Chains A and B, each alone.
Chain A
Amino acid sequence: MSDSQSKCSTAQYFLCSKNCYVRKIPNQPRQKFCGMFCPVEGSVENKTLDFDLLSSGKGRVIQRQKDISKPRKVEIRRSTGKEILQNLNDEVRSDRLLIKGAKIVNDDQSFCADIYMEDGLIKQIGENLIVPGGVKTIDAHGRMVMPGGIDVHTRFQMPDRGMTAADDFYQGTRAALAGGTTMIIDHVVPEPGMTLISAFNQWREWADSKACCDYSLHVDITEWHKGVLEEMEALVKDHGVNSFLVYLAYKDVFQLTDSQIYEVFSVIRDLGAIAQVHAENGDIIVEEQRRILELGITGPEGHVLSRPEELEAEAVNRSVTVANQTNCPLYITKVMSKSAADVIAQARKKGTVVYGEPITASLGTDGSHYWSKNWAKAATYVTSPPLSPDPTTPDYLNSLLSCGDLQVTGSAHCTFNTAQRAVGKDDFTLIPEGTNGTEERMSIIWDKCVVTGKMDENQFVAVTSTNAAKIFNLYPRKGRIAVGSDADLVLWDPELTKIISAKSHNLAVEYNIFEGTEVRGSPLVVISQGKIVLEDGNLHTTEGSGRYVTRKPFPDYVYKRIKARSRLAELRGVPRGLYDGPVCEVSVTPKAMTPASSAKTSPAKQPDQPVRNLHQSGFSLSGAQIDDNIPRRNTQRIVAPPGGRTNITSLG
């Protein structure tokens, strides 16, 4: 080992006893860069390095940590008690884990304690825990241990016109785990015409066979009719789905009209689910796209030029309005611009139950790259709503995230490789959309928000994990370190620095939109379902080990207020005497020229009727004698209201 290598060694792991881990080394489609497992100084006798692993050549450490002044120490060792025998033949990782000397960071407080986990659950928290033998112990040395991140928005393996997103559920969840995220919620995108349930089952099948961490699913509503309503009901009641996304963009494909959204939101509220929206004005985008193409702009810059942030803000505003009308909780996915974030912040100030989800990309980079001379690089940033060309956007969004105006962060991880993007090489509207971000999410937020002093570690936990768990009714099973919660934990090192690069990331794509960004803060150890899946930069993931986590409707965090408002919102008519004055005679049937407008939907003014012969109308301005010849129906009774009958035609 060279000096330089040992110097840059950041996390020194002490693997105790032999063959602690037999890693299931998955077939990695591509291994771009391998560093060396750095030797450990002062190794204790009973701690040995897993040399087998090192020599295998496959499972090498991806060396990403650089610029670390002092060596970091995390000890993972086997208890030396008698019970060691029962785990001697340790083909699978131990189900019993003890983290000693941790600073437990929840969203509400931080405190020092040990954590004991068994069977994927947190069993004990406290000091001097009495634990059985054969327990693997991690010495945290006072470092932060926090609930594993929840990436509320991923689109792994997403189909797009016969192509599939480059990161599938295996690759995607691996990347997530590498970044400290232990649960993802992916979007089911039923192709219009396909039933929601069959799409949902399709996604379940894909994910169950490949996901390395727990997952759940949002279902996107891509069309609207009665059958969809029944399927939504079934998804909520039988399949553990409590969030549905509607699109205000993608005209003629996914986009719903305002009326449809009103109806979908009403159904969602009755079912106790969360209404998510992709907020962009699709009608105007289509017009702008046409204009931009006509101007001869075909490159990725056309993408952002045709989707200015005003169109995002407009759609957010509209969905807030509809959500208020229907008393339905609203969740805005992909908050990409200042204007959109402002609309959400204002709506929250007015009391709307609305949540905003900025994504890794909008928090970590901006849209100036759309003008890159490198087409492939520019195309990598193509996502909708687009990244804002305003370079002050990330800082602004991080501030709103810190003050609570925005609540959760997703990655909207949806990656396509360059060949796939190149489908749109002559027409930006054909470029498949999506950016990476699942691996970088936690580090970007730590670097941009916590290091800069915008938020503290507790708020960090809130926006990366707890709030998501609360909104989607996973709390406190997920999103909290507490007895009974899932053993999804991250040992976080705030001083670990790395430079993000496509050369070292765990993704299948050639570009990383955060290329060259140096971020402080990284996971040192990641525990998912009670098993160590990341240590010393090494991933020990098992394909298909992730479980589908069901979510119940009516999350308290969201629905307490909605329920109270439902009770208040009862409207009553004014009890009045029956109007018995004159009634003007009007023509009721619409003219033949106008398209049939149903009486129900055309509220007020009927088309100005026989416009021509107006002066010959029988109606006279001088008085109201016109009703004299209208026979009053004998079924109508004039009811005297309580308190005597008001003369309802009198002046004043």
Chain B
Amino acid sequence: EQTMSYQGKKNIPKITSERLLIKGGRIVNDDQSFYADIYMEDGVIKQIGDNLIVPGGVKTIEADGKMVIPGGIDIHTHLQMPFRGTSTVDDFSQGTKAALAGGTTMIVDHVIPEPGSSLVEAFERWREWADEKVCCDYSLHVDITHLNDSVKQEVLSLIKEKGVNSFQVYMAFKDLYQMSNSELYEIFTFLGEHGGIAQVHAENGEIIAEEQARMLEMGITGPEGHVLSRPEELEAEAVFRAVTIASQTNCPLYVTRVMSKSAADIILQARKKGNVVFGEPITASLGTDGTHYWSKNWAKAASFVTSPPLSPDPTTPDYLNTLLASGDLSVVGSAHCTFSVAQKAIGKDDFTQIPEGVNGAEERMSVIWDKAVVTGKMDENMFVAVTSTNAAKILNLYPRKGRIAVGSDSDLVIWDTDATRTITAKTHHSAAEYNVFEGMELRGAPMLVICQGKIVLEDGNLHATAGTGRFIPCSPFPDFTYKRIKARKQLAILKAVPRGMYDGPVSEFSPMSRGGTPSASTRTSPTKAPLRNLHQSGFTLSGPEEAPIRPAGRRIVVPPGGRSNIISLS
């Protein structure tokens, strides 16, 4: 138990002080742990060390050697997400309260512009919603749900003026959000040039649509149809494709919601080959599995519906925790997106209509502690890395966030490694009736949470205030991701081979494609375009009769070292 005492005068008001001192804590960063006191003022860490000289009127927290870690960053939430005229049950207030209760002091939410609408307008709308309600600092990813030139301009202004540096594209949700490979290439190229991070929702939407139709035809309409129509291979395939395109375009890639072993394996292999790719497992994929889709309780089964789905393979969480511990997966989000049972019931007769999303903002830190640290997979420093520091580095928030250092924001958590709690919907801070971790006993919990230099959780009591959170802008070209990208850009300059002009015979050919097919431009149809009257072609195998007509403006240039006879047999 930490004790609280007030130094100096006794008549300090009981409101949370702007000045805080944590004494006797073990500071745990992602690189090392050490004992020191921390003095905070105005929401910023001012001093770290022993025997600090602090002004009077400072609230002191005795940490008694307990771990003090940087507050968690939940890099993926969908709070207050609009859905067909309603919205998710956890709004920015409810959602950030749940996050704070779990030791997370910053969230990064996804802006989802309606396809065809303005990205900037959607961003502003989300800002408005969030500013009014958030209880902790936040930042925003913007999802690109359609593509045209004005979208690119908007992306640019979001990067340059609005403090957004990460954009998600969808490879699933056909005819809605899904992007074609060419569009992905275009977006990745653009983001790579302007210092953004490309996030992908990786699932093959085309095949999912086919599989969904098949499932429904077979009469499978329940939530099990959701996972049956989205096998993990389709997730892995899309990850593979995204990695390929990102590698082609030299753009940093961030795979949201890594839900299966196969998808994680692809990321692991890509990283081994040197790709700049980050994988984000979520609380649900680390803490539970997809066997619940077969629950006889429809509402329970439906509460697990999210995309990509939880894997029915019960060994998945352990595997993902291992890869997280080894550094092959980089960050953990919650993808917190909760719907009430009544909302989920929209899909009671058709699983494709069930609104998707699971809870996890509150449970995130504890699930990882319990599954990865208690089991000895990772140490406390790695725990800090995957729950906070890596996210801050990827989004260019480091070291303001994600580190306990002088000058950093005073978002801190005193972590109680011995605490044990049982997760249940009866006591969680989310508004949802179900909790996908229901009944799970987890070791490790926050004992005290400090957000913006204020104590927001102590003794299990939340003192969060809606609207106090600030929008934290993310600047482009984060060093953590772009140092390598920049180096590669310099290497990747391609050069043509200097050759003498070919001056031999040239065959006759018909460059136009035939009438039957829709006009394929010569440019995009690189090669074969056979013709019908092949036998009547004027071309003979014995050799062309006429010399090619050289355009008058062209000169045959002699390459250095003399002109090579370019049609001679070598």
Contact = CB atoms under 8 A, between A and B. Distances in A.
Answer yes or no: are A and B bound together in one complex: yes
Interface in A490-545: 502-503, 508, 510-511, 515
A257 B204 CA distance: 12
Interface stretch (B214-222, B276-284, B381-389, B463-471): B214-222
B199 interface: no
B532 to A, nearest CB: 7
B173 A317 contact: no
Contacts of B434: 651
A399 interface: no
Contacts of B516: 191-194
Contacts of B340: 584, 621, 624
Contacts of A166: 541
Interface string B182-223: 100110010000000000000010111111110100111110
Given A191-B532, A571-B215, A573-B221, A371 B114 contact: no
A254 B516 CA distance: 13
B426 A651 contact: yes
Contacts of B525: 250-253
A335 B294 CA distance: 41
A313 B243 CA distance: 11
A470 to B, nearest CB: 27
Interface in A573-608: 573-579, 581-588, 591, 593-595, 597-598, 600-608
A322 interface: yes
Contact of A433 (B87, B174, B527): B527
Given A317-B240, A419-B543, A604-B352, A594 B342 contact: no
Nearest to A575: B296
Interface stretch (B224-232, B363-371, B443-451, B473-481): B224-232
A290 interface: yes
A510 B570 CA distance: 10
Instruction: Please give me the 5 A-B residue pairs with the lowest Cβ-Cβ distance, nearest first.
Output: A193-B516, A608-B82, A283-B181, A252-B520, A586-B84
Interface of B: 80-87, 89, 91, 94, 112, 114-117, 122, 125, 129, 173-177, 180-182, 185-186, 189, 204, 206-213, 215, 218-222, 224-225, 228-229, 231, 233-234, 236-237, 240-241, 244-245, 247-248, 294-301, 307, 340-343, 345-346, 348, 352-356, 424-426, 431, 433-434, 438-439, 494-502, 504-511, 513-518, 520-532, 534, 537, 539, 541-544, 548, 559, 564, 566-570
A205 to B, nearest CB: 10
A542 B84 CA distance: 72
Contact of B502 (A318, A375, A574, A605): A375
Nearest to A421: B507
Contacts of B342: 581-584, 624, 626-627
Chain B CB count within 10 A is highest, among A258, A262, A433, A577, for A258
16 contacts: A161-B531, A162-B510, A162-B539, A253-B527, A259-B206, A259-B210, A376-B566, A376-B567, A420-B539, A573-B221, A577-B298, A579-B348, A581-B341, A586-B85, A601-B174, A603-B229
Interface residues of A, number: 133
Contacts of B206: 257-259, 262
A325 B544 CA distance: 49
Nearest to A254: B528
Given A310-B244, A511-B569, A582-B342, A161 B510 contact: yes
A624 B116 contact: no
B207 A321 contact: yes
A419 B507 contact: yes
A305 interface: yes
Contacts of B237: 317-318, 321
Contact of B539 (A164, A193, A317, A508): A164
A583 B544 contact: no
Given A325-B207, A384-B527, A649 B341 contact: yes
Contacts of B80: 614
Contacts, number: 406
Given A310-B247, A573-B224, A610 B85 contact: yes
Contacts of B204: 258, 318, 321
Contacts of B354: 604
A422 B129 CA distance: 62
Contacts of A600: 209, 212-213
A563 interface: no
Interface string A256-275: 01110011000000000000
Interface stretch (A211-219, A230-238, A291-299, A480-488): A291-299
A311 B244 contact: yes
Contact of A574 (B240, B301, B526, B529): B301
A452 to B, nearest CB: 26
Contact of B84 (A192, A598, A609): A609
Interface string A358-382: 0000000000000111111110000
Contacts of B348: 578-579, 583
Given A284-B244, A311-B248, 14 more contacts: A254-B528, A284-B185, A308-B248, A372-B497, A374-B570, A378-B497, A419-B543, A422-B507, A572-B220, A574-B294, A597-B176, A611-B122, A621-B89, A650-B299
Nearest to B266: A317
A290 B494 contact: no
A288 interface: yes
Interface residues of chain B: helix, strand, loop or mixed (majority): loop
Given A262-B207, A584-B342, A299 B526 contact: no
Given A373-B564, A579-B299, A605-B83, A594 B116 contact: yes
A648 interface: yes
B114 A418 contact: no
B86 A586 contact: yes
A581 B297 CA distance: 12
Interface of A: 29, 158-164, 166, 168, 189, 191-194, 223, 250-254, 257-259, 262-263, 281, 283-290, 292, 295-299, 301-302, 305, 308, 310-311, 313-314, 317-318, 321-322, 324-325, 371-378, 384, 417-420, 422-423, 425, 429-433, 502-503, 508, 510-511, 515, 571-579, 581-588, 591, 593-595, 597-598, 600-612, 614, 617, 619, 621, 624, 626-627, 641, 646-652
A602 B530 contact: no
Nearest to B434: A651
A619 B340 CA distance: 11
Given A283-B185, A297-B494, A318 B84 contact: no
A253 B529 contact: yes
A631 B498 CA distance: 78
Contacts of B559: 373
Nearest to A428: B526
B248 A288 contact: yes
Contacts of B298: 576-577, 579, 648
A141 B269 CA distance: 52
A259 B568 CA distance: 47
B97 to A, nearest CB: 13
Nearest to A596: B175
A371 B499 CA distance: 10
Chain A CB count within 10 A is highest, among B83, B354, B522, B523, for B83
A168 B508 CA distance: 18
B537 A584 contact: no
Contacts of B299: 579, 581, 648-650
Nearest to A296: B496
A325 B531 contact: no
Nearest to B493: A295
A617 B85 contact: yes
Nearest to B432: A621
Nearest to A377: B570
A605 B244 contact: no
A284 to B, nearest CB: 6
Contacts of B518: 252
Nearest to A603: B352
Nearest to B495: A297
A191 B528 CA distance: 9
Contact of B507 (A420, A581, A585, A603): A420
